Structures are given as structure tokens and as C-alpha cells.
Amino acid sequence: MAKNKVEIVNVNTANIKVLSQDEMTKLFQNLDEKAKEELINGNLKLVLSVLKKFIGRTDNLDDLFQVGVIGLIKAIDNFDLNHEVRFSTYAVPMIMGEIKRYLRDNSSLRISRSIKDLAYKALKAKDELISVFDKEPTNLEIAYKLNVKESEVVEALNSLKDTVSMFEPIYNDGGDVIYLADQLTNDDSIYDIETKMALRDALTKIKDKERYIIIQRYMIGKTQTELADEIGISQAQISRLEKNGIAKIKKIIR
């Protein structure tokens, strides 16, 4: 399989029809079984786009595709044009949630509670050390603060490697970019859409350099050191700009 390409048995992904926004609006306005079928078939590429996030997590992408389609159907059944958001923005959380639940329920790997607890303590300790010393601490420094072995810190932090930033882009339909913040869901409902939109709007209202640093840190995954070298300022300045930007975002969306 080519990198980042999803291949599904008995599905010619190259020939999947993609509905325009106007076509989808008309189908939702006259939703019956035929319209529903058209909406499903016209949004299969949306499922495939989400599926790319899970390449390497399972050997059977065909099963995940079917699970993703179930999420798509649920989204179609519950979507309301009065939401005044694109269908893709609404559907991605449900597709993602359905796949995640499937992987969670069928995973043979279980991370122990003690490792998870240590991982979050390490993240907290890391933030505290950054606030004191204005630089990113080493795993050894975190271990010393927590009075544990460095290898235990490394193991705990590695257990969270599947955790991704809330600003990570997970789908782009050529118009709206859907970030992870758009698909934060629990088992029963979708977070307030107005809050998600306020979060994205807040990013546009902070200074360019602050926005760039936050996106690079939380979307791309760069370290403060990497950004300091790239921009040509100190790591302490990067840390201050990052904190200022986050504080402004919090203030704007309150």
C-alpha cells in the first residue's frame, strides 16, 4: 500500500463520487431512503480521509472502513441544516468516535493505570519545570523531580504517543480544515459546536508570531528548541510567546 493511501477491498476509491455542498443541502432537505443512500455514497471519501489517521493501528483497514461508514450513517441520521456548519465538520467527530471505540473495544493492548498516572504526572512536572527555568526539561530532570527512574519516565511518556494535539488537522475538504478540536467527543454526544468555532476564531485574533508558535507546537509537534532555532530567538522567548498566546485564547473564548 502506498504511504497515506487507503485501499479497501472491492471498493474503487478513485471513482468514489464526492457531493458538492449544494447537492448535500438538497438531499438533506428531501431526506428519504434514496437521498440517504446518495449521501452515504457521496461521503465515502470523508470516511477514507479519517481512516488515514489510523494506518498502522490495525491490519484490517476494511473493517475500520465499515465501522467508519456506520459513523457516517449516524451523522446523516442526526444532522440538522440548522446547525449552520458544513456536514463534514459535523460528521468527522462521529466517524472518528466510532472508529476509536472499535479500536478501544478490540485492542489487545492495555496500558496499566500506574503507567498512565506517571505519564500525566510527568507532563505536569514538565510544565512546572518549563515555567521555572524557561526551557524544556530532559527526561532525567523530570525523573529527578518525580523521584523515579529516567527509564520509567520514558516508558510512561511513550505510552501517550497516540495522543495528538487539539489543533491537529484531520480533514481538509478544500474549504474548511477540520482540527482535532472539531472532533472531541464523548460516548454520547458532540461538544458544543459554538465552542469549537469560537476556538478557531480565537486563533485568528492573536498576534501572528503567537499563532505561528502555537500551531507549530500543538499542530506540527515542534519543540520550543526547534522553534527558537528556526525563528532566531531564545527558547525562553518562545515559551513566553506560547504562554501569552494560550492565555489570550482562553480569555477570548470565555
C-alpha cell at 197: 468555532
Q: Give the model confidence (pLDDT) of 105-130 as tens digits.
A: 665 445 566 777 888 788 888 888 88
Which residue matches cell numbers 459513523? 71
Domains and CATH numbers, the chain: 13-109+164-198 (1.10.1740.10), 112-158 (1.10.10.10)
Distance from C-alpha of 242 to C-alpha of 224, rounded to nearest angstrom: 9
Interatomic CA distance for residues 175 and 163, integer angstroms: 26
pLDDT of 143: 92
CA-based max dimension of the chain: 63
**Extended strands (E) in the chain:** 169-172, 177-179
pLDDT for residue 11: 56
Enter the C-alpha cell of residue 191: 461538544
Give the pLDDT score at 144: 92
Is pLDDT at 4 greater than 50 in this prediction? no
* Residues 214/160, Cβ–Cβ less than 8 Å: no
The secondary element (H helix, E strand) that includes residue 61 is: helix 61-78
- Do 160 and 119 form a contact (C-beta atoms < 8 A)? yes
Question: What whole-number distance in Å separates Cα of residue 242 and Cα of residue 86?
Answer: 30
Return the DSSP state at 82: G
pLDDT, greater one: 235 or 169:
235
Q: For residue 147, name the pLDDT band (cuts at 50, 70, 90).
A: very high
The pTM assigned to this predicted structure is 0.44
pLDDT of residue 223: 78
Residue 1 has what pLDDT? 38
Helix, strand or coil, per DSSP, at residue 56: coil
pLDDT at residue 27 tops 80: yes
Say whether pLDDT at 179 is over 60: no
DSSP-derived pairing of the beta strands 177-179 and 169-172: antiparallel
Average pLDDT over every residue of 166-175: 49
